[in-house]
Structure 1
Amino acid sequence: MYGQLLLLGIKGTELSSNEKHYLSRIQPGGFVLFGRNVESPEQVRALTDSLRDICDVPPIIAIDQEGGRVTRTKEIGNTPPSAEQLRIAGKPESLAWHGIQTGQLLSLLGINMNLAPVLDIAYESDTDNALRGRCYGRDAQEVINNAGVYNRNLRRMKTLTCGKHFPSCGLADVDPHHKLPTSHKTKEELLASDLLPYTALWPEMNGILTAHTHFSELDPETPGLPASLSYNVVTRLLREQLGYNGLIMTDDLDMGAIINTYGRGTDVQMAIKAGNDMALICHQTDTAEKALEALNELSLFDVQASLKRVRKVKKKLPKFPAFDQKRWDKVDEEIMELRIEVLGEEAARGDQNDSIANSRSPVEDY
C-alpha cells in the first residue's frame, strides 16, 4: 500500500527480470521515464504497457516533455519549441498546438502525465540554474497566460499535468541537480509574484511538484532545509494558507540538493511528513526497496491523506489507443510544422539539440 507514495525511474528500454521482481513487490504509485528509456516509439509503448501489467493498481506514468532542451523523445522525433521560444513568438495558437501535439504524442506512447508546465518566472536568463529556456514568462501574468494555454490544450488530450517548481526556482543561484540553491524572498514577495501562477492555474492541473530550493525567510530556524522537505512550505504555505488540496510530488530526490545531505529513507520520510503525497526516485532506482521500508515505518495517520489524493488522481487516468505508426509520423510532422511557424524554416530544420551554451545542467541529457 505504501508503495503508492513512490514515483520511480527505471533503468533501460525494457524491464529487467530483477526490476519486474522488485517492482511487483513494491507496487509503486507510478513511474517516470527519461531519455535512457527511449529507443523507438514502439519500444516505449511496449515498455509502458509492461509497466501497467506489473501493477495491481493502474500506475501514473510520467515524463518531462516540455519542449526545447527538455524533450525526452528528441532521439526518436522532432523537438517541439521551448517555452522561451514560444513566449518570444507571442502566438497563443502556437502554444495551443504545442499542448495538443504533446498530448497526442504521449497518448500514443502510453504516458498519462506530463511533469509540466514549468511555472517559474524567468527573472535572470543567464543564471545557470537549469531553467534557461524553460519558462513561459518574465512576470507572473505572462506565465499565467502562456502556461495556461499550453496546459489547457494538453489536458484536452486527456494528459494529466503537474505544475513545477513550487514555490519558485526562478531566482535560484545554482542548479539543484548539483547542490542546494537558496532564495531570500519573503512570503509577501512570493505571494505578490512567484505564487500567482500556481493559485491561478492549479484548478486546471492535476498536481504540483515541489522545488529543491531553501527559502531562508520561510525556514529561518532550519538553515539549508529544501522547500520540498519543508513542513512550513508544503503544508503551512501551500496546503493551509493557499488552500491547495490536490496532489503534491517532490522533485527528484536523487538530485545533488537532496542526496548530498540526506540518506535514502530519511528523505522520503521527510517528504511525506512535510506534506508531499509522492516522492520521486528517478535515478538511484536500486534504493527503491529501502525507500519503501522507510515509508512503512510511518503511521497510517501520516499517509492516509496522501493515499487518498493518489487514488483520486488515478480515477482520471486515461485509456490509450493502440499504437499507430502512421499516427505517430503525422504528429511528428506537425511538430516540425510548429517549429517552422515559431522559429522559421532554416532554424527549425537545423540543429534540434536546443542545448544551452555553457550550461552544466544535466536536465537536457536525462
Structure 2
Amino acid sequence: MNGYSTFTNALRDGGRFLIIGLPGAHLSQDQIQIIREIQPSGFIFFSRNLENPLSFRNLLEQLRSLVEHEPIFAIDQEGGRVSRLKAFGSEPPGAKELGEKADLDLLREHGELTGKLLRLFGLNFDLAPVLDMDTSEREHNSLKGRSFAPEPQDVSRFAKAFIEGLKSQGILCCGKHFPGYSFAQCDPHLELPQSFKSKKELESFEWIPFRALQNFCDSFMIAHIRNFNLDPQGLPATLSSRTISIIRQEWHFTQLLVSDDIDMGAIINHYSLKDTLELSLKAGIDILLLCHRFHLVREAAAILSSLPESIKEAAAQRIENFRNRLAPPLAFSLELFQAIDREIYSLREKVLGKERAKQRSIEDGKRSPVEIY
C-alpha cells in the first residue's frame, strides 16, 4: 500500500505541470481513474468534447469533482474558425474580420461575450488572443484568419480591446505564440517551422504586441519554432532556455508560460516525450499542453515528477498564483446560453453583415488531422 501511495504521490507531483485533453464527450472508468491518480492542473477542450451545452457543463462538473484543487479549464475560443464552442452555438467573428472593421467597441464586445460564454460553462482560461501578424505566409502556417492585422501596433490595440472585454467577465487570457509564427512557412501541427530573423528584427516587429501587452496578459504561449539566431543549438522555442530567458530575464515577465501542444508534428517528429517534457520545464515553461495522447498522461506525469525540485519550484509557484485568480463557474441555464448565443450572432452580423454572417468559416483542407489552435 505504501508503495502504491508513493507512486500516486509522484504522479500527482508531475501532474501539476500538465493540462490534458480528453478523448471524447464522456469519461470511461479508466479515464476517471487516471485523472484521480495524476491530478492534472487542468484540462483543455476541443470539438470532440462538445456534445451539447448541458452535457458539456456536466463534463466540467464531473472533472471538477475528480481533482482536489481548482482546475484550470482551458479552451481555444478566438473567434472565427478557431472557436470550439461553435460546435453547438454561433460562430463569433474572427480576428481578421474584427481587425478589418477596426472598431474597438466591437472588439471589446467580442471579448465580453466570449467571457460570458466561457463563465457559463465553468471555463476559466481562454487560449487567446493571437498576437501574431497577418502575413503572406498565413496560407501555410495555420494562422489564416486568426490574426488581427498586418501591423504590430494595430495587433496591440485590437488584442488589448479583446482582452479588456474578456477580463471584464473574469476569464484569464493567453497571448500567443511567442516568438512568433507570423512568418513561419509551414504548419507546426505538421512539421517544425524555422524563423531566420535576427533578434533585432524580431524586436522591431513581431515582438511589439508581446511587449506592449505583457502587463495585460495573464500568460504567454510559447511556439514550436526554431531560430538559430535565438538558440544556436536549434532547439524550438518551447524547449529553449535561451529563447525563454528573453521573456523571463530581459522582459521580467512573471506570469504563466504555457507550451503549445506537445502533440504537434513540430515536436513529436523530432523529440521523445521524455526529452520534450524535461527540456521544456528546464527551459522555463510552467505548464505543458498534452492535448491528443491521453494514453501518455501517466507516463508524462511520472517523467515530470522525476525532475529535481529546484527545476519545478518556480513553475509550481507560478501555476499556484495563476490558479488563485481563476473565476468560479456561473449557474448554468440553457436559456442563458441561448441568450448569449443570440448576442454572439448579433455581433457576427454587425461585423460581417447579414449575408456573410450566414456562412460559417471553412477550415483549410490542408490542415493537420489534429485541431488547429
TM-score normalised per structure 1: 0.96
Q: Could you report, residue by residue, the CA deviation over 1:320-362 in whole angstroms, capped at 9, with x for unpaired residues?
A: 121111111111001111111111111112x21x124554345
Count of aligned pairs: 361
CA contact (8 A) 1:3 1:28 kept: yes
**In the alignment, what sits opposite 2:213?**
201
Q: 1:357 to 1:115 in 2, by over 3 A?
A: closer
Tell me how far apart the structure 1 counterparts of residues 326 and 238 of structure 2 sit (CA, whole Å): 25
SS in 2 for 1:66: strand
Counting aligned pairs with the same residue, the percent is 38
What SS does the aligned partner of 2:288 have?
A: strand
Structure 2 Cα separation of the partners of residues 229 and 137 of structure 1: 28
Deviation at 1:363, TM superposition (A): 6.3
Residue pair 1:65, 1:102 contacting (<8 A) in 2 also: yes
Does the Cα contact within 8 Å between 1:128 and 1:174 map onto a contact in 2? yes
In the alignment, does 2:173 pair up with 1:173?
Answer: no
Structure 1 residue 123 displacement after superposition = 2.0
Q: In structure 2, what is the Cα distance between the partners aligned to 1:180 and 1:355? A: 24
CA distance in 1, matches of 2:347, 2:160: 18
After the TM superposition, which residues 100-139 of structure 1 pair with which residues of structure 2 at under 5 Å, given as runs? 100-124=112-136, 126-139=138-151
Task: Give the equivalent residue in structure 1 for 2:367.
Answer: 360
Q: Distance in 2 between matches of 1:290 and 1:365?
A: 25
**2:120–2:332: 8 Å Cα contact kept in structure 1?**
yes
The aligned residue for residue 238 of structure 1 is: 247
Instruction: Give the counterpart letter for 2:179 in structure 1.
Output: P
The reply to whether residue 284 of structure 1 matches residue 296 of structure 2 is no
Alpha-carbon contact 1:130-1:363 (below 8 Å) kept: no
- Residues 9 and 285 of structure 1 are in contact (CA less than 8 Å); yes or no, is this contact kept in structure 2? yes
Match of 2:203? 191
Residue 336 of structure 2 aligns to which amino acid in structure 1?
R
List structure 1 segments (4+ residues) > 6 angstroms apart after TM superposition: none
Which residue of 1 is the match for residue 8 of structure 2?
none
Which segments of 5 or more consecutive residues in structure 1 lack a partner in the other structure?
none
Distance 1:308 1:126 in 2: 36
Q: Give the drift of 1:245.
A: 1.2
Question: Are the counterparts in 2 of residues 128 and 173 from structure 1 also a CA contact under 8 Å?
Answer: yes
- C-alpha contact 2:176 2:221 (8 A) present in aligned 1: yes
**RMSD, aligned α-carbons:** 1.3
Q: In the alignment, does 2:31 pair up with 1:12? A: no
| SS class of match (1:43) | helix
Counterpart secondary structure, 1:252: coil
CA distance 1:356–1:12, shift in 2 (3 Å): closer
Which of the numbers 176, 194, 208 marks the counterpart of 1:182? 194
**Taking structure 2 as the reference length, what is the TM-score of the superposition?**
0.94
CA contact (8 A) 1:265 1:293 kept: no
One-letter code aligned to 1:75 = A
The 1:362–1:193 alpha-carbon spacing in structure 2 relative to 1, beyond 3 Å, is farther
Residue from 25, 35, 50 that aligns with 1:38: 50
Tell me the residue number matched to 2:270: 261
Distance in 1 between residues matched to 2:274 and 2:288, nearest whole Å: 11
Residue number among 233, 236, 244 corresponding to 1:226 in the alignment: 236
1:72 alignment counterpart: 84
Instruction: State the AA in 1 paired with 2:65.
Output: D
Deviation digits for residues 272-330 of structure 1, max 9, x if unmatched?
Answer: 01100001100011101111111122100000000000000011111112111111111
Residue 211 (structure 1) aligned with residue 218 (structure 2):
no
Distance 1:163 1:49, change over 3 A: same
Letter in 2 for 1:56: E
Amino acid at match of 1:145: R
Where does structure 2 lack aligned partners over 5 or more consecutive residues?
1-12
Task: State the alpha-carbon separation in 1 of the partners of residues 96 and 195 from structure 2.
Answer: 23
Which residue of structure 1 lines up, in the alignment, with residue 314 of structure 2?
A: 305
Distance in 2 (CA, whole Å) between partners of 1:155 and 1:185 is: 33
Residue 24 in structure 1 maps to residue 36 in structure 2: yes
